[in-house]
């Protein structure tokens, strides 16, 4: 019989480790100290740092973009609905148009 050698794939321990353990311990401690001095935790501090980097690179805050996208006062959907409703009421003000609009045939 022939000897069959099965190659067992061994994954790097680095790939199986959580993200926080991939960062050198000195960097983790530095980030933890900075976060604690500002009264937050590591995750919140990292999110704020990423937002600040985006703001510096693009010149626009990601929070401002989110607020603008949620603003429905001046969105195109709101203005289109407003125009449609306004047009409908304008037609009701004209008696001859209203009669033609609501006349059953």
Percent of the chain with pLDDT over 70: 49
Instruction: For the chain, give every domain's residue range.
Output: 12-70, 72-105
**Cα angle for residues 44, 46, 49 (degrees, 5° grid):** 110
- Buried/exposed 54-72: b ≥16 CB within 10 Å, e otherwise: eeeeeeeeeeeeeeeeeee
Reported pTM? 0.36
CA separation for the pair 45, 70 (Å, rounded): 25
Do 97 and 88 form a contact (C-beta atoms < 8 A)? no
Calpha distance 84→98 (Å, rounded): 16
More confidently predicted of 40 and 75: 40
Reply yes or no on whether the pLDDT at 92 is more than 80: no
Where do we find the tokens 């995750």? 43
pLDDT tens for 12-36 read: 555 555 655 567 778 778 888 888 8
14-18, 73-77, 101-105 — which is least confidently predicted? 14-18
């Amino acid at each position: 019989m022939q000897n069959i050698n099965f190659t067992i794939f061994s994954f790097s321990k680095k790939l199986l480790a959580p993200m926080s353990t991939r960062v050198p311990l000195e960097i983790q401690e530095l980030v933890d100290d900075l976060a604690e001095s500002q009264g937050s935790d590591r995750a919140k501090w990292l999110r704020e740092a990423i937002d600040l980097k985006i703001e510096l690179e693009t010149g626009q805050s990601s929070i401002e973009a989110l607020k603008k996208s949620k603003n429905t006062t001046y969105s195109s959907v709101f203005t289109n609905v407003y125009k449609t409703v306004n047009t409908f009421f304008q037609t009701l003000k004209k008696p001859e148009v209203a009669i033609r609009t609501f006349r059953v045939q």
